[in-house]
Structure 1
Amino acid sequence: MAEPFKQDWGARAFVRARRLVGVRFRPQGYDPSTGLDCVGLVWAAYAAAGRRLIRPTDYPLRGWSQQRIADALRRAGFVPAVSAPQSGDVALVALAAEQFHLVLMGPDRCVHAHAGLRRVVESPLDAALLTAPRWQLAKED
């Protein structure tokens, strides 16, 4: 018998992501002990919250199309967000040169693996994040 749904996975994942602030940045990193990238941060936060996701493999450092990212998020159990922003939403931010970045959102802050600062950081939500495409973990049946 499945464990009763006690708390929203997204809220739990955001709490766990905040505990990862300061972890070093590592391209294609998915283990907090050795470093995380933006994809690894989202997957590590949900895993620490108790929800294991299907992790994408062989994704490039640059040039990963928006469609391939959307497909990877779907395989992991996310769906496009249609409600107001919620803790645990994953924002898909378009950067320069058609590069995309995943950000884990909270109620008024976000956590992400910052390549320039070479570590996981927490910062306030801004207009760009609030208007970026968002994904939410689908509710379990």
Structure 2
Amino acid sequence: MSALELARGAIGARFRLHGRDVAHGLDCVGLAGLAYGAQVPRGYALRGGSAERIAAVVCAAGLVRAGDARPGDLVLFRAGAGQLHLGIASEIGVIHADAGLRRVVERPGVPPWPELARWRREH
């Protein structure tokens, strides 16, 4: 299955900080790990992350920086002051673990957060 299909399969899962599976809940890092089949870190705070640290983990998982936008890309956003957020690009918007809605959702349209980087698997 593609990263996009795996992310779409998690829609409706509850939000859980440091969550790593659909049954018990996911956060944005857990959703990214699920979609790309990668081990992801634990023990981080909801705020105060480093874009450089995230880039290093993503690249270590075998993803490469993407220059253009495609469905299935892993996207890093600045969601607020000191808050980074990951999502999976879709044909209609972005799939992400929404802490406010308390579940994984597919948000249509252009995401409201500034995009910092995007990655994908090379085939």
Contact 2:77 2:114 in 1 (8 A): no
CA distance in 2, matches of 1:78, 1:31: 21
Q: Which position in structure 2 is the counterpart of 1:109? A: 93
Shift of 1:130: 8.5
TM-score (norm 2): 0.87
Q: Alignment partner for residue 105 of structure 2, among 117, 121, 138?
A: 121
Which of 71, 76, 93 pairs up with 2:61? 76
Q: Between the two proteins, what is the percent identity of the paired residues?
A: 41
Q: Could you tell me the TM-score, scaled by structure 1's length?
A: 0.77
1:29 to 2:19 alignment: yes
Between Structure 1 and Structure 2, whose CA radius of gyration is higher? 1
2:83 is aligned to 99
Structure 1: give runs of 5+ residues left out of the alignment: 1-8, 47-51
Using the alignment, how far apart are the partners of 2:52 and 2:116 within structure 1? 15
Structure 1 or 2: more helix by fraction: 1
Task: For residue 53 of structure 1, give the secondary structure of its aligned residue in structure 2.
Answer: coil
Letter of the structure 1 residue corresponding to residue 77 of structure 2: V
Structure 2 segments unaligned to the other structure (5+ residues)? none
Instruction: Map 1:85-96 to 2 at 5 A.
Output: 85-96=69-80
Give SS of 1:116's match: coil
* Structure 1 stretches of at least 4 aligned residues deviating more than 6 Å after TM superposition: none
What CA RMSD, in Å, does the superposition of the two structures yield over aligned residues? 2.0
Q: What whole-Å deviation, never above 9, does each CA across 1:29-79 have from its counterpart, x for those lacking one?
A: 111110000010111123xxxxx3232233332211111111111111111
| 1:14-36 deviations in Å (ceiling 9; x for gaps) | 12211211100000111111000
C-alpha deviation, 1:129, in angstroms: 6.4
Residue 8 of structure 2 corresponds to which residue in structure 1?
Answer: 18
**What is the CA–CA distance in structure 1 between the aligned matches of 2:113 and 2:121, rounded to whole Å?**
17
What is the CA–CA distance in structure 2 between the aligned matches of 1:115 and 1:74, rounded to whole Å? Answer: 25
Count matched residues: 123
Amino acid at match of 1:73: V
Distance 2:70 2:114 in 1: 11
